[in-house]
Every structure is written in C-alpha cells, then in structure tokens.
C-alpha cells in the first residue's frame, strides 16, 4: 500500500470562530440551508463565515454524481424545495451581503437538471436584494445549451463552471462530467457577455505543463477568472493526494495565468472556487462605474 503524503505546515489552519461566524451559522441553520462550505469541508470556512460570507448550495445536499474528489453526499436526492429560492434570498438579506455566491449539487434526476430552480433562485435573490451582485457556480447540465441559457438569462454577474483538473486526469476523478463539455459550457457563457470563471485543483498528479495547457484551453474558451488550489483528500475512500504543491509553484501559476490574459487569478494552497469572490467582483464593478 502506498504511503500517504504527509501534509505540510502551510496547510495546517485554525478554524476559529467569532461573533460574525456564529451569526452566519445561525442564519444558515435557521433557514435550513445547505452550504458547500460545510458539505465540502472547505478549509476557509472559519475565515469566510467570520466575515459573514458563505457559498449557498441549492438543490438539496445529495448529489447524483460521485466524483472521487468530492465530499458531498451521493445518492437519490429529495424533491426540490420550492421555498428554497426565497429562503436563500432572505438569508442573503439578513447577512447584508453585497456579493452572493450560489452553487448546487448535480440533479441529473430532474428533466431540466435543475435549471429552472437555478433561474428562480437568481431571480429571487435579485428581487429581494437589488444591490447585491450574484455569482453562480453551475454544473455542466450535461452540455445542454438550452439549460445553460436559462441560467444566463437570469443575469447573474458572474457564471463559474469548474474544470476541476487537467484533461488527462479529468476522466479519472469526475464521474460523469467531461473536459470538452465543461469547456463548451464556459464558451457559451463567455459568448453571452457574462463574466466567466473556472477553478481547478492541483496535487492530483498533473504536471505544470498540463496546467498551462488547461489555462490555454480556458482562455481560448473566453474564461476571465481562474482559481487554483490544493486538492485535499476528504477521506481515505477518495482519490489520493499525489503531492502537496509548494506555495512557490502556486505563485508561478498565478504569474503564468495573468501573462496568458486572465483578468484575475487566485492561486494558493487554500484557494477554493469562491475564495475572495467579493474582491473579484470589485474588479468588474470598477469597469462599469
């Protein structure tokens, strides 16, 4: 049996808690909401919740896919909660968020794969929080353009879809998604004029050259924002960590990404898809003022 790679000091964090963290948790719990922060065991939950920010997960907390890197529960989901869009929007109002991030489980069990629920959630957020900008991290909707279009037409400010990993490793860790399908989703979003974003994990056994190739593919598809973070194995049942990428290499990835034309690149060991999302939106707000 292969020895597990020892976690380096730079990945050891303290969750911590403060009054804002406690209040964020209270709002999430009282509205029976799900967050990717907790279900995905995000290492930044203490920092983000302590600042009053959270990434809401809609469509329930059971995913129809079983990707080998993901900690979200897999199985047969419950029916959609018709009140969820309003509950999410109300929570955002209570938290006084200037920028809200929404993601979801995959709902391959539904005829529209959850697209209408997505659109309604965005619309409710904007109805109750007209000054709040909205960022969505969407599934691939099996590459069905008419479903991706429903999300685009709800007019969130940023639409993100994660590539997750490089082309060679993608089929090894993604249970149903495909590299080219994900690129096509990003291409469709970019063509609509909506700000596009994607995220990847490193430490799965990829090479720097493969990461650079992925960057090129994303830029050709029109992606504007890229996040790069260290893959952390949720449990011994998940895909093993091949290596812990050094902070120096993350800096190099950021420099390469910016040189290739990304507007923004967040690249560090603990970066996740929505990390510092509230900072990223300011870049685009400035451009419209």
Instruction: Name the nearest CA neighbour of 269 among 197, 203, 204.
Output: 203
Give the torsion through C-alpha atoms of 106, 83, 78, 28, to 10 deg.
Answer: 70
The beta strand positions in 121-267, using DSSP E, are: 133-137, 158-160, 195-202, 225-230, 264-267
To the question of whether residue 66 is assigned a binding role by annotation, the answer is: no
3 state DSSP class of 143: helix
What DSSP state is assigned to residue 164?
B
Q: Residue 99: beta bridge partners? A: 133
Instruction: Name the nearest CA neighbour of 96 among 20, 157, 45, 155.
Output: 20
To the question of whether residue 70 is assigned a binding role by annotation, the answer is: yes
Q: Which helix (H) or strand (E) holds 55?
A: strand 55-58
To the question of whether residue 67 is assigned a binding role by annotation, the answer is: yes
To the question of whether residue 223 is assigned a binding role by annotation, the answer is: no
To the question of whether residue 37 is assigned a binding role by annotation, the answer is: yes
To the question of whether residue 91 is assigned a binding role by annotation, the answer is: no
To the question of whether residue 32 is assigned a binding role by annotation, the answer is: no
Residues tagged in the binding site annotation:
37, 42, 48, 63, 67, 70, 274
Residues tagged in the binding site annotation for [4Fe-4S] cluster:
37, 42, 48, 63, 67, 70, 274
């Amino acid at each position: 049996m292969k020895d597990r790679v020892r976690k380096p000091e730079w990945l050891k964090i303290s969750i911590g808690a403060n009054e804002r963290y406690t209040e964020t948790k209270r709002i999430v719990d009282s509205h029976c909401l799900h967050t990717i922060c907790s279900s995905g065991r995000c290492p930044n939950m203490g920092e983000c919740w302590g600042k009053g920010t959270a990434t809401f997960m809609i469509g329930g907390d059971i995913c129809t896919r079983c990707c080998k890197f993901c900690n979200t529960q897999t199985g047969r989901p419950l029916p959609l909660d018709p009140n969820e869009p309003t509950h999410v929007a109300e929570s955002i109002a209570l938290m006084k968020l200037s920028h809200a991030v929404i993601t979801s489980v995959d709902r391959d069990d539904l005829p529209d794969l959850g697209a209408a629920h997505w659109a309604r959630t965005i619309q409710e957020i904007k109805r109750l929080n007209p000054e709040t900008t909205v960022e969505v991290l969407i599934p691939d909707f099996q590459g069905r353009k008419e479903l991706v279009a429903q999300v685009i037409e709800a007019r969130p400010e940023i639409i993100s879809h994660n590539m997750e990993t490089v082309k060679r490793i993608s089929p090894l860790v993604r249970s149903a998604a495909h590299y080219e399908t994900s690129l096509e989703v990003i291409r469709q979003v970019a063509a609509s004029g909506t700000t596009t974003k994607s995220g990847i994990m490193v430490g799965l056994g990829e090479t720097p050259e493969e990461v650079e190739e992925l960057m090129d593919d994303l830029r050709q598809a029109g992606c504007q924002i890229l996040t790069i973070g260290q893959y952390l194995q949720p449990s011994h049942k998940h895909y093993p960590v091949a290596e812990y990428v050094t902070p120096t290499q993350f800096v190099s990835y950021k420099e390469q990404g910016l040189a290739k034309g990304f507007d923004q690149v967040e690249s560090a060991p603990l970066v996740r898809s929505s990390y510092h999302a509230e900072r990223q939106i300011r870049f685009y707000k400035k451009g419209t003022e």
